[in-house]
A and B are shown apart, each in its own frame.
Chain A
């Protein structure tokens, strides 16, 4: 369905939109939960799959894990339009850069391209992005570029509206030196917890593991998500 983009925050004193539902006047948002974890040899990234326009779920099977290059992905949160536009622009820039260099680009380069765009247009954009991937120089890396346009490398990062609810879980359960399977399990649990509490996150949990060999994608359907006794 075509996502409807309203004028945003303008006040319509005499609204001709009386018979249009409220959700059709809202901006499309990926209020969301995204995360990325480094491990020795690569990264694991994960996201939920809900896109909302107000209270309506515009897409319940969204893919928020966007490839930027062969071994570099980004996790998008915030305005769907803004993040798609920025990701497309960075994909182009990085592809061009990689051809010029005649070798695969660095994750740090991709992250910095995101950061430059997010910082320059910080007033107009609403985009929180996590860039993660693998390169030959530094292995698996996670860079977070939150709203405002700062950049910082972290061993693990969470973002989006659902992330607030899992900071405690993340702080207590993350340990450095996990294997790929442990990381995937950790991400699945964290996403499930966030999706349970955050109204803007839900659907299925999409995961991907990026290593030197390539990409491995997984989907954990709603009924397969881990359940916790209190919820």
Chain B
């Protein structure tokens, strides 16, 4: 049922939740929320230059809601991802931001799309991004299995984030997770000290 599939949705989101906004070596904020809601059931994880990301998502939010009104129905996740992709690709010289767009729509259920730095759009069952993601590629490849339950997805994402935050010096603070299903959207926040601890050297 929808619930099961939407869990794969959950993981998308969780992936990009590291929360430090840094300007070179200064931590400007420890509690930024990098999950931006661009429509009722569509969220965007942002990475890279936060200024660029905020500008792009603001423009995308407008375009998506306009599109949704014109079509008289909630937008497809693919459409939302496409809007972001157009903005990233057409302004690739100036921008330095990557996104993960994820959500639920009536046509295909839960989906994840990654929009990379240069404007590439790719649909995947799950994905990771941001500076901390390099450290968890191995973990994610090893631990991900398709058709996980909601709890398994949440656990997988929390563990992955905790591991990445443990290794990446510009990731940390609080972990934000969002679960998107047909029924609605649920926000989970885990402070840094409550994250799972692993064997650290």
Residues of chain A touching chain B, judged by Cβ–Cβ distance below 8 Å, are: 154-156, 164-176, 189-190, 193-194, 196-197, 228-231
Interface secondary structure of B, over-half rule: helix
**Which residues of chain B are near A155, meaning CB under 8 Å?**
201
Q: A156-B201, A197-B141, A228-B141 are in contact. Are A168 and B136 (CB under 8 A)?
A: yes
Q: Is B137 an interface residue (CB 8 A)?
A: yes
**B163, A172: Cβ atoms under 8 Å?**
yes
| Docked CA distance A231–B125 (Å) | 11
Residues of chain B touching chain A, judged by Cβ–Cβ distance below 8 Å, are: 125-126, 134-146, 159-160, 163-164, 166-167, 198-201
**Which residues of chain A are near B143, meaning CB under 8 Å?**
172
7 A-B contacts (beta carbon < 8 Å): A164-B135, A167-B136, A168-B136, A168-B137, A170-B138, A228-B141, A229-B145
| Docked CA distance A196–B142 (Å) | 11
**Which residues of chain B are near A173, meaning CB under 8 Å?**
142
| Docked CA distance A194–B134 (Å) | 11
Interface secondary structure of A, over-half rule: helix
| Docked CA distance A156–B198 (Å) | 14
**A165, B199: Cβ atoms under 8 Å?**
no
Smallest distance from the beta carbon of A117 to chain B beta carbons, Å? 25
Smallest distance from the beta carbon of A71 to chain B beta carbons, Å? 24
| Docked CA distance A167–B135 (Å) | 5
**B167, A165: Cβ atoms under 8 Å?**
no
**Which residues of chain A are near B167, meaning CB under 8 Å?**
167-168, 171
Smallest distance from the beta carbon of A76 to chain B beta carbons, Å? 21
**A168, B125: Cβ atoms under 8 Å?**
no
Residue among A155, A166, A171, A176 having the largest count of chain B Cβ atoms under 10 Å: A171
Smallest distance from the beta carbon of B102 to chain A beta carbons, Å? 16
Smallest distance from the beta carbon of B172 to chain A beta carbons, Å? 15
| Docked CA distance A165–B168 (Å) | 12
**Which residues of chain B are near A166, meaning CB under 8 Å?**
137-139
**A189, B142: Cβ atoms under 8 Å?**
yes
- Contact among B126, B144, B146, B199 for A175, CB-based, below 8 A: B199
- Contact among A165, A174, A189, A228 for B134, CB-based, below 8 A: A165
State the 10 A-B residue pairs at the shortest beta-carbon distance, nearest first: A168-B139, A166-B138, A168-B136, A169-B138, A168-B163, A193-B138, A165-B137, A167-B135, A169-B139, A171-B198
**Which residues of chain B are near A193, meaning CB under 8 Å?**
137-138, 141-142
**A194, B166: Cβ atoms under 8 Å?**
no
Closest residue of chain A to B125 (Cβ to Cβ) is A230
Smallest distance from the beta carbon of B65 to chain A beta carbons, Å? 34
Residue among A170, A175, A190, A197 having the largest count of chain B Cβ atoms under 10 Å: A170
| Docked CA distance A174–B139 (Å) | 12
Residue among A168, A176, A189, A229 having the largest count of chain B Cβ atoms under 10 Å: A168
Closest residue of chain B to A33 (Cβ to Cβ) is B138
Closest residue of chain A to B159 (Cβ to Cβ) is A172
**A229, B146: Cβ atoms under 8 Å?**
yes
Closest residue of chain A to B132 (Cβ to Cβ) is A168
- Contact among B135, B144, B199 for A229, CB-based, below 8 A: B144
Smallest distance from the beta carbon of B118 to chain A beta carbons, Å? 18
Closest residue of chain A to B166 (Cβ to Cβ) is A171
Residue among B137, B139, B163 having the largest count of chain A Cβ atoms under 10 Å: B137
**Which residues of chain A are near B146, meaning CB under 8 Å?**
229
| Docked CA distance A170–B125 (Å) | 24
Closest residue of chain A to B124 (Cβ to Cβ) is A230
Q: A167-B163, A168-B164, A230-B144 are in contact. Are A176 and B199 (CB under 8 A)?
A: yes
